[in-house]
Structure 1
Amino acid sequence: MPRDLSTAPALAPGSLAGSPQPVLRTAGGLLLRPWEHADAPVFLAAYGDEEIRRWHTRRPSTEEQVREWFDAYRRDWQQERGGHWAVTGDDDEVYGRIALRGMDFDDGTAEAAYWVLPAARGKGVASGALAALSAWALGEGFWRLELDHSTRNAASCAVATKCGYVLEGVKRSAAVHDDGRHDMHLHALVRGR
């Protein structure tokens, strides 16, 4: 599709979809790899956790639905809309999830999202995964990475701050959670700043 831009896109169309989704390694030795159908049980079980449910209102209800999500994740990569990774150890045990959604190649922006399973919390899994994904994305040509979270989610705020995502402000009443509307913190990491 022809672009009606007066400037070149930040990332060339096809620059990601032309290659398989990468497997990334964190500084702490964790792996970020694409989700596999065999991961469906652990992914579904994650949404039974109270903390994950508190901050994520879009939830799968069956393993079949999870596998449909995984197929949609593969299409996201092929269509350069997003990337979704399982965060694992070398033993391939899943510790969490991280994603880069809403990819905009024209402006070079995307949004990070993550969760961590209960047994892996407090061990640097989220911050390690976010740091590795952010370094990769900025290296690929993205200019600005955003993430938002409920102002009540202190753990997510700490992860964002630890990874250099600057708190830019509050989006008032921007998201619906099970207990009602929440204000959301907006953080961003900008290349070279």
Structure 2
Amino acid sequence: MSGGMHLGGIDLTTETIRTARLVLRPFRPDDVDAVFAACQDPEIPRWIAAVGVPYTREDAAAFVLGEAPGQRREGTGLTVAVEADGELVGASGVQRIGQHPIGPEVGYWITPRARGRGYAAEAAHALADWAIGLGAPRVYLVADVANTGSQTVAVQAGFHREGVLRSYLHYRDGRRADAALFSRLPGD
């Protein structure tokens, strides 16, 4: 596996990470409706290229029951349900494990009513720590240059802004956008 990570005896299909306030756990079938409802908020597809408009219940089921557990089984991603006080408040993950020369990528979205509580930063920080703890020499994330909220989350999660990737993001509606590139290194 490239990128320096050594998954060793870790079973990504069941891997769960706990923080002070969150449980970052595998998605369950009963999360489909919560993911579907959250992704009706226009801010999520506005910034998350993988979320289309319209976002259907079938899209949510494909993500929760297919894509997220598939990445875990393949060892290429640790996509997690972000849970606070027993409620799904978002999704986060470490993607491209062993697949990208600049390291694994962290991403996140938070439900509208759970925003502003620091959950995205807490999840992103924990997932970056997890990847670095497994030997990743660096972890990165990208945020649309117009998405100041996500860039604030990146800094709060301990990431450092490195620059701008011009025309890096490609949204389902055909838009392209520049992305701010952030990274965390083991010593950060």
Q: Would you say same fold, with TM above 0.5?
A: yes
User: Does the 8 Å contact 1:24/1:33 carry over to 2?
Assistant: yes
> 1 CA distance for matches of 2:129 and 2:152?
18
| Residue 51 (str. 1) matches residue 34 (str. 2) | no
Question: Which residue type is aligned with residue 38 of structure 1?
Answer: D
* Contact 2:106–2:139, Cα closer than 8 Å, also in 1: yes
Residue pair 1:26, 1:131 contacting (<8 A) in 2 also:
no
Percent of aligned positions that are identical:
30
Is this contact kept in 2: 1:171–1:183, CA < 8 A? Answer: yes
> Structure 1's 9 and 22: CA in aligned 2 closer, same or farther, altered over 3 A?
same
State the match for 1:21 in structure 2.
Answer: 14
Deviation at 1:158, TM superposition (A): 0.5
- CA shift at 1:74, angstroms? 1.4
TM superposition shift of 1:59: 2.3
- 1:104 is aligned, of 98, 102, 111, to 98
Higher mean Cα deviation, 112-121 or 42-51? 42-51
Task: Give aligned pairs, total.
Answer: 184
Looking at structure 2, the residues matched to 163 and 18 of structure 1 have their Cα atoms a distance apart, in angstroms, of 25
Deviation at 1:107, TM superposition (A): 6.0
Distance 1:129 1:19 in 2: 17
Instruction: Classify 1:9/1:39 alpha carbon distance in 2 versus 1 (closer, same or farther; 3 Å).
Output: closer
- Select the residue among 146, 159, 165 that pairs with 1:171: 165
1:189 to 168, 184, 188: 184
Q: Tell me what 2:89 maps to.
A: 95
* Conserved? CA contact 2:90–2:110, under 8 Å: yes
The structural deviation recorded for 1:189 is 0.5
Structure 1 residue 64, shift from structure 2 partner: 3.2
1:11 and 1:106 in contact (8 A); partners too: no
What letter is aligned with 1:24?
I
Q: Answer yes or no: is 1:30 the counterpart of 2:25.
A: no
Is contact 1:150-1:182 (8 Å) kept?
Answer: yes
Q: Which amino acid aligns with 1:46?
A: A
Given the two structures, how large is their TM-score scaled by the length of structure 1? Answer: 0.85
1:124-135 matches, cutoff 5 A: 124-135=118-129
Give CA-to-partner distance per residue, 1:2-48, whole Å, 9 cap, x none.
x8xxxx97234x52664543211123x21111111110011112221
Structure 1, unmatched stretches of 5+, are none
- Tell me the alpha carbon deviations over residues 74-128 of structure 1, each in whole angstroms, 9 at most, x when there is no partner: 121121110110111232x111110111111796820001001111111011011
Matched residue SS, 1:57: coil
